Amino acid sequence: MHIKKLSPILGAEITGIDLSSPLTDKLKLELNQLFAEYAVLVFPEQSLSPPLFMKAAEIFGSLMEQQIKKFTLPQYPMVGYNSTKDLPIVNGKLQVRGENYHTDHSNDLEPPKATSLVAVEIPSFGGDTQFVDTRKAFDDLSDELKEKIIGLKSLHVHQSSRSPRSFAKLSPDEMAKIPKTVQPLVIEHPDNKRAALYLNTGRMEGIEGMEEDQAYKLIEELYRHATQPKYEYRHKWRVGDMVIWDNRAVMHQANADYDPNEYRYLYRVMLKGSVLSGVTH
C-alpha cells in the first residue's frame, strides 16, 4: 500500500490495493485509521461492479439506504447513481443538485457517516468534486467566535427557505418521508472527538434562539470562512476512481462546468452514521 497526501490538510490517494479482492483485517484497520486522519480517500484504477463497490465501501461501515429511491439501481437499491441524463439544462447549463458546499442528508437524525462514489463514465473536461475541511476551519476561528457558536443549533429540512441551490422535486408522499432534524452548529466527531463546523446552507432554517436575519448572516459568515481555498482539496475524476469522504469532517460540492452533451455517470453509496453530539467546551 502506498499513501500520497493530496493537500496539506486533507485527502490521501491510496495505491497498491485492489478493492475487488478480499483484504486482511489488519489492512482494513489501517484504511479506517487513514480515513479518520485524512477524511477523503481516493483509490484510483479500481474495477468495481455495484456488488464489489458495496463490499469495498463496507470496509468503512454499514451501508445506508438511499433517501431518494428514484436515483437507485433497480437490481441494487442500496446503490444510487449520479447521471447527466437526470439533470435539467437551463440556458445551456446543467443544473447539478450538489453545486454548493454541503454535507449529505444533514436533515437525518443519524446523518450518513460517509459517502462514496465510483466513476463509471467521465466527461473530457470538468465535473470535479471539491472538498473543504470543516475541522481545520473550526480550529482557525477566533476564540470569541468559537465561544459564540458552541452550543447553537439549527433546524435542517429538505430544502431551506433560503437555499442557494435547488433540490430534487419530490411528490407529497416522498416529502412526508423526508425527516427534519435539529443539529449542532459545531459537532464533536464520533470517532476522533475533533470539533468541526456542521453546515449545510441548502437545508438550514436559521438558528434556534436567534433573530432570523442575524442567524442567516452568521451561517453565511461561517460558510464563507469554511469554503476558503486554503481548506480545499479538488478532485479531478478519472474512470475507475473510488472516492470516499467523511460527512462529519468535510463539506463537498459538485461542478456543472462540463459539456452537457457529454455523459457523466457515477455509482454512489452511503454509510450509516449516528446521532451527532455538539461540542460543549
Q: What's the pLDDT tens digit per position in 134-158?
A: 999 999 999 999 999 999 999 998 8
β-pair type (40-43, 12-15): parallel
Predicted confidence (pLDDT) at residue 239 exceeds the cutoff of 70: yes
pLDDT tens figures, 67-102:
777 788 989 999 998 887 765 555 555 555 556 899
Check which CATH number belongs to the domain holding 95 and give it. 3.60.130.10
Q: Is the dihedral of CA 210, 212, 215, 217 positive or negative?
A: negative
Predicted confidence (pLDDT) at residue 33 exceeds the cutoff of 60: yes
Q: How many CA atoms lie within 13 A of 37 on its CB side?
A: 14
pLDDT tens figures, 156-211:
988 777 666 666 666 677 767 778 999 999 999 998 999 999 999 989 999 999 99
Residue 252's nearest CA partner among 107, 98, 37, 38 is 98
Percent of the chain with pLDDT over 70: 90
The tally of domains found in the chain comes to 1
Q: Is 85 helix (H, G, I), strand (E, B) or coil?
A: helix
Q: Is 275 helix (H, G, I), strand (E, B) or coil?
A: coil
220: Cβ–Cβ under 8 A, 6 or more apart, which residues?
Answer: 201
Dump the DSSP string for 50-71. HHHHHHHHTTSS-EE--SSGGG
Quote the pTM value.
Answer: 0.92
Predicted confidence (pLDDT) at residue 7 exceeds the cutoff of 90: yes
Predicted confidence (pLDDT) at residue 12 exceeds the cutoff of 90: yes
Expressed as residue numbers, the domain containing 199 is 2-278
Residue 68: its pLDDT value, please? 73
Predicted confidence (pLDDT) at residue 22 exceeds the cutoff of 60: yes
